[in-house]
Structure 1
Amino acid sequence: MRKKLCAVLTILAVAAGALVPMPRAEAIDAWAIAAQALGVFGAYKSSLAAVLAMGNDVNAQVQSKRQDLEEQGRAKNANDVRLVDGIMERLVEHGDYVLRANSLPFTWALTDSPVFNAACYPTDYVTINRGLVHGLNGNVDELAAVLGHEMTHGLRQHSAHSYAKAAAQFYGMAFLNMSTGLMDWEKMSALVNYSIAKNVTLPIEYEADEGGFRIMTSAGFNPGGGAAAMARMGYYMTYETKELLEYQDPTQKELPQDDFSDHPATEKREKRLAQYMTDYSAGHVTVKDRKTVCIDGTPLLTVTWTNDNYDNSPENAYLVAGALARAFHDFDTADAWGLAVTRNGGATQRGDARVNELLYHFLTAAHAGALLRDLVQAAYAGEAASGAREKLRAAEKERADARAKERAAVEAADAKAVDKMRENSDTYSDYGDSARALMLMERVFASPNDTDRALSYVIRARAYAARGDAAAARADADRGVAEGEKNVLTWVNRADVRRTLGDREGALADCMKAIEVDAKNPFGYLIAAELYDEMGDGAQAEQYFKKLYEVEPRAAARIPDTYLEHIDKKAYDKRVKEQKKAREEKEKALREKNKKESRMKSKS
């Protein structure tokens, strides 16, 4: 994210500066005028509005994913892809969170980049590098914590606000320096970068850590996964990384503030996430010295290494503690644990077998099953006096009430926001993404501010058709037309639904009705022309493409070459010329890329 912020600041620097240096006094006056005209607050608001609008645009989301995969490549290991998809699907479907009214449903992809990283774009596209998966050894709970962290960036729209704050800080520093006539662009750039890291990015990383913890625990993952991920990340960034920008100097841990890094030191984040785990357990479970798991301060067991390549005992300690924290959180009595001491000195309990697996391993190794039983009994016995469980449930109720307010605000979104949700749903259907299209239509139908319910029915019908649910698609499309027979859009959308379901004659009839309702709307002509083309009736197809062109000349891009050549030879020749130029530029770029790669190979 920091690279993107710096790119924005570079653009601002160019926009703010002059091509020809002005005398000092004139420069100061020019900046003063600009400050009065725009202002720091204006810079912030305009930048924020622009990025938020992009973040609520399905085409931008799709394009950001495509561009990312073009640059990084798609991951080739099918097992890695299945792992990440499974975690993200579980977080998205079962995590407790609220998408804002102007936010898109999450989408994601695993790239082939070896860099230890993941990020969330302003469009709610989460990019995950295979380097992260391998760096965390494919641990499900650690990955869930990191991906929940990235989702929180999207939910809280951190990227948009970071861009806007960086822009405002840039302008503020520029005005301050210019007013004294002591502008030093190199020093100012360094100040801006530091300001981004310290004041913009670092605080939201802590917020994202907590948000990620809440999402992943509500989805059923191990509450120790976040602290374990930080423990692993700290080791990786110190001893294994080959990327200079990732390197974490172990001697810098005690600095009062992280340096130019755009993330807090992993040790600080580990401690915070460990505390969230403890709080989640009603205060019962802690980890001492990153290896000894305690219940109410009494040591239960000390973990050992289970990895030959490095000391992974901190990870093991947090994951064992997390399994206990999950039980303390989920069960209101000691008996509800279903604890049973095994013959080999270990113990078993109710809950997710995967989450408990590491706990069982170390309980057996330490013969600590009976001790666990006794400590659990004592912990619950002491809750009457401490009020720990009441405090836990009260804190959870407070968070639940806050989320309920957020959900109510989304449902009460104004008509303009609802219209955008419907538009985004329609665009998802264009891309064949019925799941996200239907998800948005659920929000539209839940809103009291949907001012065009007939249109909503036909848009939802398109999503059902994209999913292959013919019965639901026909029912919604017919209802939409019945309730909005004077709206041309209900007819063209039902035409598209019928076309998708293979009913070309019915689709053509709807196109004719759409043209009758509004002869200036281009969509009836477009769908009719495409249908005739599909049916092999070139004459009729050309006739309707011609009518489309007459109604909307900008729709020429939708007219195939064979028809455009007859309809407008000049427009056709221009297209051929542009296509030739684009091919030549693409071939040139490919040649330059191949030359660059050849030079790099020869040097190596």
Structure 2
Amino acid sequence: MHKKITTIVATGLVGAGIWLPLPKAEAVDAWGAAAQALGVFAAYQSSLASILDLGNNVSAQVQSRAQDLEQNGLDPNAHDVQVVDQVMEQLVNKGDYVLKVNSLPFIWAVNDSKDFNAACYPTNYISINRALVRGLNLEPDELAAVFAHEMTHGLEQHSAKNYAKAVAQYMGMSMINMETGSMDWNKLNGLAGYSIAKNITLPTENEADEGGFYIMTSAGFNPGGGAAAMARMGYYLTYETQNFLEYQDPDPKKQERESYSDHPETRQREERLAKLMSDYGCGHVTVQNRQDIYIDGEKLLTVTPTSEDYDNTVETAYLTAGALAKAFHDYDRIQGWNFRTDSTGRITCLSNDRVNVALLDNLAKTQTGEKLQALVEKAYAREAVDGARNKMWAAAVKRVQALDNRREDVLNADGKAVKKMRENADAYSDFGWGEKANLQMKRVFASRKLDNLAESQAISARAKAVNGDFAGALSEADKAVATDSKNIYTYLNRADIYHMQGEWDKALADLAKAKEIDKKNAISYYLAAVIEDEQGNSEAAKADFAELYRLQPKSVSKIPDVYLQDIAPKEYNAREKKKAEARKKYAEEWKKSHKDK
């Protein structure tokens, strides 16, 4: 959550910005001010458009992941990855959220970094550091709060907006400085950096905390997970981190770095998330002194630590209170709590699901099940008077309406946007990510302004094949051909599916049909040449590779040496020369390295 990507492109939202006062004698004239404003606005629009385009590009998303793992390595611990995958899958598949029409579905990975961080790239790739996973003790509800926070950054496109606003703000301040000479450049850079952190990035961190809270709770996680994660993060950064840049002094007055931070102070985040938890449960449940659980002002129990490694009282308190808040939220009546007598004769309640573990353990330890039942009965009776439940549901309805509005925007996306979604689906298939391709095509077919049904069916068919559903793929591919028998891409995609299944003759028949429709489409010749080469039909393969080269000379890299030698001798010789130079360089480096040893 503290991680930055290229300074600004990671998280953040809009800031009001600050303006330097202009001395009257040096104030710019009206025309100069207008030109300045237009320049700043143009810089904002250009920056925003470029980052949004990047965020809607599958190749950029795949490269984001590859670059992260190349730089930081992949977490070698399979259990870390398994826990993260389970949490992310639950958030992505069960959480209540809506991707914008120009956003990609989320992907993620656990890298091997020792920094306590996670970040969402503009491409909706969520980078998760091993140190964060371990630092939060692999606790699913705490991890869910962090990951949902990062998802909100992606959903709201904070990276693009923050970057664009930072560029505009810095440019505006620089222009004023040039006009007035009111500040030296070193001070200006410091002021701009501070302003960007406080007025642009920091507000979006609060928004991401709140948005993440509702994503993780809608996915079924413990509402106390967010506050618990902040408590654990504060402890980790104070007592456990080995990175002095992460260190947080336990005395808030000495946390000087916070005054320049683009994230809210950890304790403030904890308190805000605790308030969200309480409101989620109709305001009944609160945590006082970071260890005492209260219901409507009456103390239920005091939490004690459950770990021998460190004092986890605060985390346990929030997870205990979170289970109570979730029950109040989920059940309109006390019957949903399932109060009952356990095998020891004590009162217990709810299910034995993971989200209730801390609560059930504390009830058993403090023997307060009967007291809880009485407090819950009083809480529901009080709701009829104070309308707490109606307030909670009114807030929930407002959130649902906001999501419905966004969903309507996606459903009504124009043909250009739908085409881009379809192209992204095909790109996922190119990378072998059939599941993501299928997800994209579901979004395409849901659109009310589907621009090309046949191509959509063809790309959907290929996505199913990449995902291993060949029967469904061929059925969909046949529909595509029937929808538009003159569309070359319906045949190309069906040929690709036949090729995946090893049905070469059927694939070549579709490619022959594609060539009839459009003799200048190089893809038909390339796919046919590949299949013919696999069949051992070298003459036919050479003829199709030759046509590929004629139509698209830049595709020379796709032509094997055995054919290129006859098709384009100069290209072949150039390739051989490069190979020889590479072999020579390798031999020299190998010889040098072994000589040094």
Q: Compute the displacement of 1:560 (Å).
A: 2.3
1:405 aligns to 2:417 (yes or no): no
Amino acid at match of 1:385: V
- Cα gap change, 1:593/1:398 in structure 2, threshold over 3 Å: closer, same or farther? farther
Which residue number in structure 1 is paired with residue 543 of structure 2?
Answer: 543
Which residue number in structure 2 is paired with residue 2 of structure 1?
Answer: 4
Q: Compute the displacement of 1:38 (Å).
A: 6.5
Alignment of structure 1 residues 555-570 onto 2, 5 Å: 555-570=555-570
Amino acid at match of 1:96: D
| Farther-moved stretch of structure 1 (259-268 vs 129-138) | 259-268
String of CA shifts for 1:51-102, please: whole Å, max 9, x gaps: 1101111111111101111111111111111000000001000000000000
Q: Distance in 1 between matches of 2:497 and 2:559?
A: 21
Which residue number in structure 2 is paired with residue 15 of structure 1?
Answer: none
Q: Does the 8 Å CA contact 2:9/2:159 hold for their aligned counterparts?
A: no
Amino acid at match of 2:154: G
Report the 3-state secondary structure (helix = DSSP H, G, I; strand = E; otherwise coil) of the residue aligned with 2:127: strand
Amino acid at match of 1:71: Q
Which residue number in structure 2 is paired with residue 280 of structure 1?
Answer: 280
1:161 aligns to 2:175 (yes or no): no
Which residue number in structure 1 is paired with residue 356 of structure 2?
Answer: 356
Q: Compute the displacement of 1:239 (Å).
A: 1.7
Q: Compute the displacement of 1:409 (Å).
A: 0.8
Which residue number in structure 1 is paired with residue 150 of structure 2?
Answer: 150
String of CA shifts for 1:389-428, please: whole Å, max 9, x gaps: 1111111111111111111110111000000010000111
String of CA shifts for 1:36-62, please: whole Å, max 9, x gaps: 597111111111111110111111111
1:269 aligns to 2:273 (yes or no): no
Which residue number in structure 1 is paired with residue 196 of structure 2?
Answer: 196
Which residue number in structure 2 is paired with residue 19 of structure 1?
Answer: none
Q: Does the 8 Å CA contact 1:341/1:347 hold for their aligned counterparts?
A: yes
TM-score where L is the length of structure 1: 0.90
Q: Compute the displacement of 1:215 (Å).
A: 0.8
Higher relative contact order (CA 8 A, sep 6+): 2
| Farther-moved stretch of structure 1 (318-327 vs 556-565) | 556-565
Which residue number in structure 2 is paired with residue 299 of structure 1?
Answer: 299
- Cα gap change, 1:124/1:388 in structure 2, threshold over 3 Å: closer, same or farther? same
Q: Distance in 2 between matches of 1:82 and 1:502?
A: 34
Q: Compute the displacement of 1:470 (Å).
A: 1.6
| Farther-moved stretch of structure 1 (232-241 vs 414-423) | 232-241
Which residue number in structure 2 is paired with residue 128 of structure 1?
Answer: 128
Report the 3-state secondary structure (helix = DSSP H, G, I; strand = E; otherwise coil) of the residue aligned with 1:259: helix
Q: Distance in 2 between matches of 1:37 and 1:571?
A: 53
- Cα gap change, 1:262/1:457 in structure 2, threshold over 3 Å: closer, same or farther? same
* Count of aligned residue pairs for this structure pair: 574
Q: Compute the displacement of 1:575 (Å).
A: 3.7
Q: Distance in 1 between matches of 2:87 and 2:544?
A: 48
Report the 3-state secondary structure (helix = DSSP H, G, I; strand = E; otherwise coil) of the residue aligned with 1:2: coil
Which residue number in structure 2 is paired with residue 115 of structure 1?
Answer: 115
Q: Distance in 2 between matches of 1:550 and 1:464?
A: 33
Amino acid at match of 2:548: L
- Cα gap change, 1:62/1:404 in structure 2, threshold over 3 Å: closer, same or farther? same
- Cα gap change, 1:303/1:316 in structure 2, threshold over 3 Å: closer, same or farther? same
RMSD: 2.8
| Farther-moved stretch of structure 1 (86-95 vs 349-358) | 349-358
- Cα gap change, 1:73/1:257 in structure 2, threshold over 3 Å: closer, same or farther? closer
Q: Distance in 2 between matches of 1:395 and 1:534?
A: 62
Alignment of structure 1 residues 274-423 onto 2, 5 Å: 274-342=274-342, 344=344, 347-351=347-351, 353-423=353-423
Alignment of structure 1 residues 460-479 onto 2, 5 Å: 460-479=460-479
- % identical aligned pairs: 53
String of CA shifts for 1:515-547, please: whole Å, max 9, x gaps: 110111111111001111111222211110110
Q: Does the 8 Å CA contact 1:119/1:127 hold for their aligned counterparts?
A: yes
Report the 3-state secondary structure (helix = DSSP H, G, I; strand = E; otherwise coil) of the residue aligned with 2:259: coil
TM-score where L is the length of structure 2: 0.91
Report the 3-state secondary structure (helix = DSSP H, G, I; strand = E; otherwise coil) of the residue aligned with 1:244: coil
Q: Distance in 2 between matches of 1:181 and 1:173?
A: 11
- Cα gap change, 1:346/1:71 in structure 2, threshold over 3 Å: closer, same or farther? farther
Q: Does the 8 Å CA contact 1:345/1:369 hold for their aligned counterparts?
A: no
Q: Distance in 2 between matches of 1:277 and 1:382?
A: 19
Q: Distance in 2 between matches of 1:213 and 1:140?
A: 14
Q: Distance in 2 between matches of 1:194 and 1:268?
A: 19
Which residue number in structure 1 is paired with residue 90 of structure 2?
Answer: 90
Q: Distance in 2 between matches of 1:260 and 1:175?
A: 24
Which residue number in structure 2 is paired with residue 101 of structure 1?
Answer: 101
Which residue number in structure 2 is paired with residue 451 of structure 1?
Answer: 451
Amino acid at match of 2:169: Q
Q: Does the 8 Å CA contact 1:345/1:368 hold for their aligned counterparts?
A: no
Q: Compute the displacement of 1:481 (Å).
A: 1.1
Q: Compute the displacement of 1:5 (Å).
A: 2.7
Report the 3-state secondary structure (helix = DSSP H, G, I; strand = E; otherwise coil) of the residue aligned with 1:299: strand
| Farther-moved stretch of structure 1 (82-91 vs 563-572) | 563-572
Q: Compute the displacement of 1:348 (Å).
A: 2.5
Q: Does the 8 Å CA contact 1:74/1:111 hold for their aligned counterparts?
A: yes
Q: Does the 8 Å CA contact 2:9/2:121 hold for their aligned counterparts?
A: no
Q: Does the 8 Å CA contact 1:224/1:323 hold for their aligned counterparts?
A: yes
| Farther-moved stretch of structure 1 (141-150 vs 579-588) | 579-588
Q: Distance in 2 between matches of 1:592 and 1:337?
A: 73
